[in-house]
Structures are given as C-alpha cells and as structure tokens.
Amino acid sequence: MTDASPSLVQDIRAASRQLVREFGFLDKTIAGTDLSGSGVHAMMEIGLHPGLTAKELAARLKLEKSTISRLLKSLEVRGEIIQTRSDKDGRVFGLSLTNKGWETFAKIDRFGNDQALGALSRIRNGSARSIANALTTYADALAARDTSTEQVEHAHKIVEGYQTGMIGDIAALHARTHGVLIGMGPTFESVVSQAMAEFMPRIDNPVNNSWSVVEKDEIIGSISIDGEDLDGNVAHLRWFILSEKLRGLGLGRELFLRALDHCDGHGFDEIHLWTLKGLDAAKTLYERNGFELADEYVGDQWGKSVTEQMFIRKRP
C-alpha cells in the first residue's frame, strides 16, 4: 500500500476537482451536445459496446436501475437509441445507436479527442504516457475501493434458490415483522406459508427464483420472483423481508436489485408487488427503483382489515 501524506491527498483531490470543471461536468450539458453528463456517457458506452443491456450499462455507469430506465427512455424518445430483442433469448433486449445516435456519438468522440489532444500538446518532457498510466492506475484503484467496501458490508452470504426450512423461516419472519400492522395470530402466517408452499415446487422454472440471506442455516432475509402466477408478461415480486438486525447494511437493497436484474434479464414487461401501507422504508426503495403506486385498497385476507398498496414497475 502506498503511503499517502496529507499534502499528497489534498493535491490529488484538488486535481480531481479541476478535472471535473475542465471536462465541463458542472455545466448542464457537456461535450458540445445538449445532453447531460450521464447521457453523454451512456451514448459512448452503447456506441463502443453495441448490444449492451440496460443492466450492464447501469453497472458501467454506476447508476441505479431506475435512473438508467429514465435515461434510456429519454434517449429513445430523442431517437438516439433503439432496444432490440435478442435472437438467443427473446426476453433480453440489447441497446444500439440509431443513425442519429451515431451522429451524436461521432460529435462526442471528436469533442473528447480534441480536448485530449489539445491538453497533451501543451505537456512537455515526454510525460504524456506517464500521465495516461497514472490516470488508469488511479481509476482502477477507485473501482477496487467499491469492491472492498461491498465485501466488508456484506459479510452475510446471499444464496439463490430454495433453501431447506425457508418456508417456515420466511413465514415466521413476516409474522414477527408485520404483526404490529396485521395483528398477531395464525391467519397471516398461515396465508404466507400456504402461498410459499404452492410456489416452492415451481422455483426451478427459469422465470422464477428466490434470493436469501442465511445465518447459521436460518433465513433472515429473502425476496422471490414468481414469473408465472400473473397474466401476461408480468412478474410478481413476493415475500420481500429482512430481519431487523440486517437493516442499514445494504442487504435489502442488494436482494431487491438481484430480483430486478432477474426480471430485466427475462424481459418482463412489468413487475407487480403488493405491500402494506405504512412500510415507508420499503416504499422509498420501491419508488427509487422505478415502481409507482398503482392502487390502494382495504383488504382483510390477513385476518384484519388493513390498507394494501399495489406498485408497478414497467420494463426499462
């Protein structure tokens, strides 16, 4: 590990801030276009990697899927990109540039080349190659930071598919967590158990899956996607639950994103989920990832009248 003195750290931070300003990222639009910074980067990545999926683009740009969804929709409306169904998997869509998009890509590319060539022409003593190597090394080190942080935060293991005892563990976790809203008693836990018992024999079907956090052979967090029980090309997000002791570790968000990635990978047009009114933290997570409240009604299937909400996310 390199010893970094306080003055060295400050020098690097100052240079980084200056780079951001010189590249124009503080402006509303950059690279000689009327696009935002995220729009310019999306155009470059799609142009350099034709067939890139929305999931892959989100990973490259380090943006949430809801943000990517809005970004791609705006580029599609502008006529810059198209989404094409994969020949190998009809549920997967690849991104590519239109003729107009290639014109925009060329404009961005020329702008970036001119900017880099102009700066390099003012550098003396043959240090341009050293600068390129140093920038690459520093960028790679920043990326490695994200990986190490995830490893520290996610000490609990997330496993995929059916796990022994998960029906009982998840039903009990729901009952203990939501008992305050639903009311304690056997009805709620029984309904959850029966629904899971119907689903689990189908879990190995390609459009279905579950992801769980396991601690000492006990499920303490989980989420499932049922791709078969709703009409049309619609996925059902079910049994999303997290033990209180896991809150704040980012595991709920990771479970949620794995479920969304599964749905996007299979090309579902919509994802539906039902929840209880008053679960504000979950509601915030849903809305940040492209879900919108579609219906609200009072139901008593759980043994007590409660306000239920249905959220829908349309395919990016």
Q: Are strands 81-85 and 270-276 parallel, antiparallel or unpaired?
A: unpaired
CA distance 273 to 277: 13
In a domain, 130, yes or no: no
In a domain, 273, yes or no: yes
Amino acid in the structure at residue 186: P
What is the domain count for the chain?
Answer: 2
Query: What is the DSSP code string of the chain?
Result: -----HHHHHHHHHHHHHHHHHHTTTSSS-TTSS--HHHHHHHHHHHHSTT--HHHHHHHHT--HHHHHHHHHHHHHTTSEEEEE-SS-TT-EEEEE-HHHHHHHHHHHHHHHHHHHHHHTT--TT-HHHHHHHHHHHHHHHHHHHHHHHHHHT-SEEEES--TTHHHHHHHHHHHHHHHHH-SSHHHHHHHHHHHHHHGGGTTSTT-EEEEEEETTEEEEEEEEESSSSSSSEEEEEEEEE-GGGTTSSHHHHHHHHHHHHHHHTT-SEEEEEEETT-HHHHHHHHHTT-EEEEEEEE-TTSS-EEEEEEEEE--
**In a shared domain, residues 294 and 172:** yes
In a domain, 146, yes or no: no
- Give the pLDDT confidence score for residue 184 in this predicted structure: 58
- Give the pLDDT confidence score for residue 195 in this predicted structure: 93
Task: Spell out the residues 6+ positions from residue 74 whose beta carbon is closer than 8 angstroms to its own.
Answer: 39
Sheet arrangement for strand 270-276: 157-160, 209-215, 218-226, 234-242, 270-276, 306-314, 292-299
In a domain, 147, yes or no: no
**In a shared domain, residues 198 and 115:** no
Domain encompassing residue 302: 157-314
CA distance 177 to 241: 8
**In a shared domain, residues 111 and 165:** no
Enumerate the β-bridge partners of residue 94: 84
Where is the domain boundary, 69, 104, 122? 122
- Give the pLDDT confidence score for residue 150 in this predicted structure: 46
- Give the pLDDT confidence score for residue 90 in this predicted structure: 60
**In a shared domain, residues 34 and 102:** yes
In a domain, 140, yes or no: no
**In a shared domain, residues 161 and 118:** no
Where is the domain boundary, 98, 122, 146? 122
Query: Residue 34 is encoded by which pair of tokens?
Result: 């009327």
**In a shared domain, residues 171 and 308:** yes
Where is the domain boundary, 71, 95, 122? 122
Look-up of token digits 């029906």 = 167
pLDDT, one tens digit for every residue, the chain (316 residues): 456 677 777 878 888 888 888 887 777 778 888 888 889 999 999 988 888 888 888 888 888 877 888 899 999 999 999 988 766 666 667 899 999 999 999 999 898 888 888 888 887 765 666 777 677 777 777 766 554 444 434 457 889 999 999 999 999 988 888 766 665 567 778 888 999 999 999 999 999 999 999 988 899 999 999 999 998 899 999 999 988 888 777 788 889 999 999 999 999 999 999 988 877 778 888 988 889 999 988 876 666 677 889 999 998 7
Contact between residue 181 and residue 276 where contact means Cβ atoms under 8 Å apart: yes
Contact between residue 249 and residue 154 where contact means Cβ atoms under 8 Å apart: yes
The CATH number linked to 18 is: 1.10.10.10
**In a shared domain, residues 161 and 295:** yes
**In a shared domain, residues 232 and 288:** yes
Contact between residue 53 and residue 267 where contact means Cβ atoms under 8 Å apart: no
- Give the pLDDT confidence score for residue 253 in this predicted structure: 87
